[in-house]
Amino acid sequence: MAFLIAILIIVILIVIPNIKVVPQAKSYVIERLGSYYATWKNGLHVKIPFVDRVANIVTLKEIVKDFAPQPVITKDNVTMQIDTVVYFQITDPKLYTYGVEYPISAIENLTATTLRNIIGELELDQTLTSRDIINSKMRSILDEATDPWGIKVNRVEVKNILPPKDIQEAMEKQMRAERERREKILQAEGEKKSSILIAEGEKESAILRAEADKEAQIKRAEGEAEALLKIKNAEAEGIKLLKDAKADSSVLTLKSYEALAKVADGQATKIIVPSELQSIATIGTTLKEMLTDKKSK
């Protein structure tokens, strides 16, 4: 009985470790007697004790590797430090296991050499402004090179580009000068617009003042013309009334005297009396004397 129990325990200790449950997004590479046998996907699997073994456990998730900065030389002989980030995924666990020794290290070295080749064809300014081109070229080259390893490179990103310190200082001075130039241009444009607006305002103000003076003169002239017209109408009306009343010579003489009185009120120092008025005055004096003689008789 004890022997059976011992055999059962031995069997359990041997069988249970050989029952494998492969989780999601994992693959097991199985070797049988030292040769590749199968690739287990997710699920329950059993391997033969002492015959099968798990050669490699591979993750099928996308892997992100941030590689250390690499010294590269541009076409115009400027040495820079550039670090990259590579996003890749294992598509074939068998090729990944048997295709290359230390695949991550192989990808890192391949990335460094590819980066040097690409940057060596570009000048400093092109390197700083052509990240998308660099990323695209590197992804294409790395994806093709890693295909025999069962790896697919999804994306490559240039993380940092660090020029030498003296180049950085020169670039900062250049950017500072460019900012100052733009600031002066904007200030000059602002002053120009301000001067234009002021000139336009003065022009409009002068036009409005001239129009106002013109309107005032027109109104004043219209008022004087209207007043003169009323005066003439009144004089005409007065003459008409005299004619309608059939005024005699004495009334006309009186009106003439009144007109002379108005003239005398002026600033003139000489009064010119028409001959007709002198005759009328003589006739008036003669009539006055005749009336006085009749009264005395």
Does 231 reside within a domain?
Answer: no
Among 250, 227, 230, CA closest to 238? 230
- The helix/strand/coil state of 155 is strand
Which of 14, 40, 59 is the C-terminal boundary of a domain?
59
CA distances, 15 to each of 7, 78, 237 (Å): 12, 63, 145
Q: What is the pLDDT along the chain (297 residues), one digit of tens a residue?
A: 777 788 888 877 888 888 889 999 999 999 999 899 999 999 999 888 888 899 999 999 999 999 888 888 888 888 888 989 999 999 999 999 998 889 999 999 999 999 999 998 888 888 888 888 999 999 999 999 999 999 999 999 998 888 878 777 777 777 778 888 888 888 888 888 888 888 888 888 888 888 888 888 888 888 888 888 888 777 777 667 766 665 555 555 555 555 555 545 545 445 444 545 455 545 545 545 554 554 555
- Note whether 33 and 91 are same-domain residues: no
> Is 229 a domain residue?
no
Q: Is 56 helix (H, G, I), strand (E, B) or coil?
A: strand
pLDDT of residue 287: 47
pTM above 0.75, yes or no: no
* Cα 93 → chain centroid: 52
| Domain coverage including residue 272 | 247-297
CA–CA distance, 134 with 137 (Å, rounded to integer): 5
Residues 153 and 187 in one domain: no
Closest by CA to 81, choosing from 67, 94, 102, is 67
CA dist 193 and 190 (Å) reads 5
H or E segment and range at residue 112: helix 103-119
* Count of the separate structural domains present in the chain: 4
Distance separating the N- and C-terminal Cα atoms of the chain: 203
The answer as to whether 78 is a domain residue is: yes
At residue 279, the pLDDT reads 53
